[in-house]
């Protein structure tokens, strides 16, 4: 499914859903294997898919700590991109 995203395909329910609680352009990818349900939280940037967290689903609601972790990682990514762009202009 990540390859489909890389190719520019837009995934919708039941495979993916927006996670606005993390930020804009953030989504939850839903993967089911033989024994577990997995969630991959990702951010779609112009030229990258940034994996913020991989989590096994054990409850109906996404745990707050997962959302907080994703939000912090997204902020760190955006800060690094901003610093890189600023450094490229020097």
Q: What is the pLDDT of residues 9-40, one digit of tens each?
A: 677 777 889 999 999 999 999 988 899 999 99
- Composition of the chain by helix, strand, coil, percent to 5: 35, 30, 35
CA max distance for the chain: 52
Instruction: Report helix, strand or coil for 31.
Output: strand
Compute the distance between CA of residue 35 and CA of residue 12 in angstroms, rounded to an integer: 23
pLDDT tens for 67-78 read: 999 999 999 999
Burial profile 1-10: b = 16 or more Cβ within 10 angstroms, e = fewer: eeeebeeeee
pTM of the predicted model as reported, rounded to 2 decimal places: 0.84
Note the pLDDT of residue 86.
Answer: 83
């Amino acid at each position: 499914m990540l390859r489909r995203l890389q190719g520019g395909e837009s995934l919708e329910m039941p495979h993916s859903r927006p996670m606005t609680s993390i930020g804009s352009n953030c989504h939850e990818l839903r993967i089911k294997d033989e024994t577990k349900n997995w969630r991959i939280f990702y951010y779609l940037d112009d030229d990258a898919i940034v994996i913020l967290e991989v989590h096994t689903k054990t409850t109906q609601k996404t745990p707050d700590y997962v959302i907080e972790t994703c939000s912090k990682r997204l902020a760190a990514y955006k800060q690094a991109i901003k610093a890189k762009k600023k450094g490229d202009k020097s």
